[in-house]
């Protein structure tokens, strides 16, 4: 058994590949999270589109949001090119990603016409999400393809988690710093200039990273499944379905957190400028500070236990926040606890997802990362629309008025219920669901050892094929 474990322990990725993955995650998260976190607040408060139309746009968009992921995932798994199955989409999709990001903030319609602005918001949600999906499916599933052992994945996810956390930090800092704390509801031209720079630079970095990422090109020799057969086999994967219940609930909580943060800082803490960044900086200091600790704990105790612990800790942090985080100093304590919890979640979540793909390969003998990413998104991405709708519905019910600089006590209570209680509820349900996740323990480790041997055989067969074709 110790010799077999050595097979997994020697799995090593070059540092340039790890950094390419990390920087790719960094810019991908900046582009996607700046847009999706701030778009509701931006179109509501800055551009003047009412809450009901924004909520309706999110619900209409949810239908496309649900079907585009499995569709793109299926196409990507069937792609064959000299660059591989994944790399071309990142390399040639990067410029489109940057352009559409810029168009999020510059409506090409008369913003005084609510119907035109509503239609433009729908257009942006549909198009920006499509390129986000194409890139995101690959970035989310890359750890499953790049390495197989839990140890190697945990090591890769140190890079992923640190760069992702930095990406989330920048993605929240920029709009909070530039959109909150002002009595004016008009758009600052400086904000638009910065968004143009961010979109351009991030697209360039993503393009460069595509030259250093690693994928298993031998998978192009496998005969891909048909779309309906692929979906059927995916839904036979019980560990994957359990994981999906958990991550659906977590995404509800995470989306509410990023959307409601602007309302919380502007109307509850009433902070502007640098002070508005303090809760965010505290949160991400905890995320970054505990990443290495969680990587060691995951190696010792397993991904599942650390994921459950992190979810419960975050949920308790949100509950505490509802009672104490009505002013800055007590809010810092709540954000410390939530940040420590999220550090473990960020480190382990993608690695757990990769375990379900390994299990599928054992069942089907095929490697289907982006098909799984697509179905994952089919199930979970509607949570983004539901979360935005729920938060907007709650604050509207409690009397939120976007034009009022000072909200009523009832409206403030509504913001706090939406910002703290809803995420706590969803995160604790997420922890309960993952308790039933079976891919853990000695028997699973042995199955992964055999899978690594299979991968090595496929790699040798692919190299022999290239030699026969005169490529090597």
**CATH code, domain with 368:** 1.20.1250.20
| Residue 311, both tokens | 């979810």
How many angstroms separate the CA atoms of 457 and 353, rounded?
A: 24
| Segment 263-282 mean pLDDT | 86
| Per-range mean pLDDT, top range of 54-68, 76-90, 302-316, 397-411 | 302-316
Distance of CA 245 to the CA centre of its chain: 16
Decide if 3 is inside a domain: no
Region label for 184, one of left (φ > 0), alpha (ψ between -120 and 50) or beta (otherwise): beta
Decide if 449 is inside a domain: no
Least confident stretch, 238-242, 291-295, 334-338: 291-295
Residue 73 has pLDDT above 80, yes or no: no
Contact 392, 51 (CB under 8 A): yes
DSSP output for 361-391: HHHHS---HHHHHHHHHHHHTHHHHHHHHHH
Contact 298, 348 (CB under 8 A): yes
Residue 265 has pLDDT above 60, yes or no: yes
Contact 408, 228 (CB under 8 A): no
Decide if 411 is inside a domain: yes
Residue 344 has pLDDT above 80, yes or no: yes
Residue 472 has pLDDT above 60, yes or no: no
How many angstroms separate the CA atoms of 76 and 370, rounded?
A: 7
* pLDDT reported for residue 2: 46
Decide if 9 is inside a domain: no
Query: E strands of 167-256, at which residues?
Result: none
Decide if 467 is inside a domain: no
Q: Return the number of other C-beta atoms located less than 10 Å from residue 418's C-beta.
A: 25
| Residue 236, both tokens | 């036979």
Grade residue 324 by pLDDT with cuts at 50, 70 and 90.
very high
Residue 471 has pLDDT above 80, yes or no: no
Grade residue 83 by pLDDT with cuts at 50, 70 and 90.
confident
Instruction: Give the chain's mean pLDDT.
Output: 85
Decide if 471 is inside a domain: no
Decide if 397 is inside a domain: yes
Reported as a single tens digit per residue, the pLDDT across 139-181 is 877 776 776 666 666 677 788 878 888 888 888 788 877 877 6
Least confident stretch, 176-180, 342-346, 355-359, 424-428: 176-180
Reported as a single tens digit per residue, the pLDDT across 121-141 is 999 999 999 999 899 888 877
Name the H helices within 275-302.
278-289, 291-301
DSSP output for 133-170: HHHHHHHHHHHHHH--SHHHHHHHHHHHHHHHHHHHHH
Grade residue 216 by pLDDT with cuts at 50, 70 and 90.
low
* pLDDT reported for residue 463: 61
* pLDDT reported for residue 144: 67
Grade residue 182 by pLDDT with cuts at 50, 70 and 90.
low
What is the count of structural domains for the chain? 1
* pLDDT reported for residue 7: 43
* pLDDT reported for residue 402: 75
Contact 62, 378 (CB under 8 A): no
| Segment 251-257 mean pLDDT | 93
DSSP structure class, residue 44: I
* pLDDT reported for residue 449: 83
Contact 286, 336 (CB under 8 A): yes
Number of DSSP helices (H) and strands (E) in the chain, helices first: 18, 0
Residue 422 has pLDDT above 90, yes or no: yes
Reported as a single tens digit per residue, the pLDDT across 286-321 is 998 998 899 889 888 989 999 999 999 999 999 999
Contact 364, 457 (CB under 8 A): no
Helix (H) or strand (E) holding 252: helix 238-263
342: containing domain: 15-440
Least confident stretch, 47-61, 74-88, 144-158, 286-300: 144-158
Residue 456 has pLDDT above 90, yes or no: no
Angle subtended at Cα 254 by Cα 190 and Cα 272, rounded to the nearest 5 degrees: 35
| Segment 260-271 mean pLDDT | 89
Higher pLDDT, 338 or 149: 338
Residue 10 has phi, psi (to 5 degrees) of: -90, 0
How many angstroms separate the CA atoms of 90 and 132, rounded?
A: 10
* pLDDT reported for residue 223: 63
Decide if 164 is inside a domain: yes
Residue 217 has pLDDT above 90, yes or no: no
Least confident stretch, 82-91, 148-157, 195-204, 257-266: 148-157
What percent of the chain is predicted at pLDDT more than 90?
43
**Site of tokens 């612990």:** 309
- Nearest Cα neighbor of 345 from 264, 290, 385, 419 is 290
* pLDDT reported for residue 425: 97
**Site of tokens 């930095």:** 166
* pLDDT reported for residue 356: 93
Residue 278 has pLDDT above 80, yes or no: yes
Least confident stretch, 90-104, 158-172, 423-437: 158-172
The Cβ-side half-sphere exposure at 425, using a 13 Å CA radius, reads 9
Contact 258, 36 (CB under 8 A): yes
* pLDDT reported for residue 1: 45
How many angstroms separate the CA atoms of 308 and 344, rounded?
A: 9
């Amino acid at each position: 058994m110790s010799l077999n474990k050595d097979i997994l322990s020697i799995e090593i990725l070059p540092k340039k590949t790890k950094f390419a993955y990390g920087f790719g995650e960094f810019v991908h998260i900046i582009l996607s999270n700046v847009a999706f976190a701030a778009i509701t607040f931006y179109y509501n408060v800055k551009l003047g589109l009412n809450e009901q139309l924004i909520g309706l746009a999110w619900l209409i968009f949810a239908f496309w949001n649900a079907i585009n992921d499995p569709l793109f995932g299926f196409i990507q798994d069937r792609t064959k090119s000299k660059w591989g199955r994944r790399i071309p989409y990142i390399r040639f999709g990067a410029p489109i990603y940057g352009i559409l990001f810029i168009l999020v903030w510059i409506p090409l319609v008369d913003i005084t016409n609510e119907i035109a602005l509503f239609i433009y918001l729908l257009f942006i949600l549909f198009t920006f999400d499509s390129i986000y999906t194409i890139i995101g499916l690959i970035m989310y599933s890359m750890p499953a393809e790049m390495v197989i052992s839990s140890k190697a994945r945990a090591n890769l996810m140190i890079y992923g988690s640190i760069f992702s956390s930095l990406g989330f930090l920048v993605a929240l800092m920029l709009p909070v710093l530039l959109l909150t704390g002002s009595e004016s509801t008009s758009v600052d031209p400086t904000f638009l200039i910065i968004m143009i720079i961010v979109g351009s630079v991030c697209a360039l970095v993503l393009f460069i990273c595509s030259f250093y990422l690693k994928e298993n090109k031998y998978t192009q020799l496998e005969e891909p499944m048909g779309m309906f057969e692929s979906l059927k086999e995916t839904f036979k994967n019980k560990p994957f379905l359990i994981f999906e219940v958990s991550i659906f609930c977590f995404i509800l909580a995470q989306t509410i957190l990023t959307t409601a943060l602007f309302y919380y800082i502007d109307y509850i803490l009433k902070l502007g400028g640098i002070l508005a960044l303090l809760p965010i900086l505290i949160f991400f200091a905890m995320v970054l500070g505990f990443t290495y600790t969680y990587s060691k704990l995951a190696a010792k105790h397993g991904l599942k236990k650390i994921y459950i612990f992190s979810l419960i800790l975050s949920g308790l942090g949100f509950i505490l926040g509802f009672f104490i985080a009505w002013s800055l100093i007590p809010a810092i304590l709540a954000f410390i606890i939530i940040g420590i919890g999220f550090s473990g979640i960020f480190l382990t979540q993608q690695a757990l997802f990769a375990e379900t793909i390994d299990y599928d390969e054992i069942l089907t003998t095929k490697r289907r990362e982006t098909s799984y990413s697509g179905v994952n998104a089919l199930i979970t991405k509607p949570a983004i629309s539901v979360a935005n709708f729920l938060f907007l519905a709650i604050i509207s019910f409690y009397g939120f008025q976007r034009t009022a600089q000072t909200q009523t006590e009832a409206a403030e209570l509504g913001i706090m219920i939406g910002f703290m209680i809803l995420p706590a509820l969803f995160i604790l349900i997420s922890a309960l669901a993952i308790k039933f996740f079976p891919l853990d323990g000695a028997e699973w480790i042995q199955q992964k050892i055999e899978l690594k041997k299979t991968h090595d055989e496929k790699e040798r067969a692919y190299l022999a094929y290239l030699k026969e074709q005169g490529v090597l």
